[in-house]
Structure 1
Amino acid sequence: MKAKVLIPIVAGALLFTGCSNDKETASKPTKTEQTQQEKTALNKVSIKNVGDKRLEVKTTAEGKDLKYAYSVYKDGKLFQKIPYSSKKELAYKLTKSGDYRVRVYVKAGKEKAVAKSTELVKVTKS
């Protein structure tokens, strides 16, 4: 019988002691929340065929200290990899005809990369 009365009293005491009236502390995001808020976001990738001479790829991303890598696909197969750098735009010189698509990878530090592909572009070299 004592246990039945004691349990609600202890639970109520724990509930009230866990509540904070300190609004400043309560409104600050935790480190986990900050990390989630600062994650990399890859918003947009676009590709432009400039006179069948080069492809121009532009990337719009959000995050800190971003690095970009590119994979160029020709006729559905990986044609060339371009390693990570701070360049958010790529000017790729075309040497062969084909259907091209570029996959863009973006990451911040040691974070896992996010990726997005451009639309397919047809190139006809004479």
Structure 2
Amino acid sequence: MFCPLEPETIEHGSFTDNSPATFSLTDEDHTIANVVRFTLNQDPRVTFCGYSIPHPLEARVNIIVQTTGDPAREVLKDACQNLMLMCRHVRCTFDKAVEDFKASNVVKAMKIDSQDSSGDDSEESE
């Protein structure tokens, strides 16, 4: 799972004030940046959060965070942990729904067999 504070992340900020910071994530794009921005903006400790992509051909995003006083690094860590919990919840909910669907009578009535998944419909078309 994504952890933004691994070696490919660079933090730009002040030594005296830890509430504003910019985090540069390499090998990332709008997908992760937008979801991290959304998660950070849900945190009441965040007064501003946005992201930018310095150049479309460069696989890097800058996430800008301004907090009410807490260290931006800690707030980002918390947001990423919340994001991982949300992803885990969505995955578990999805997996359970698939299991429930497979166990339902609808699937049994469709006569779906995992062995017939070769994609060969020649018998049916004759």
TM interval, shorter chain, is under 0.3
**Larger helix share, 1 or 2:** 2
Task: Give me the TM-score of the superposition, normalised by structure 1.
Answer: 0.28
**Larger strand share, 1 or 2:** 1
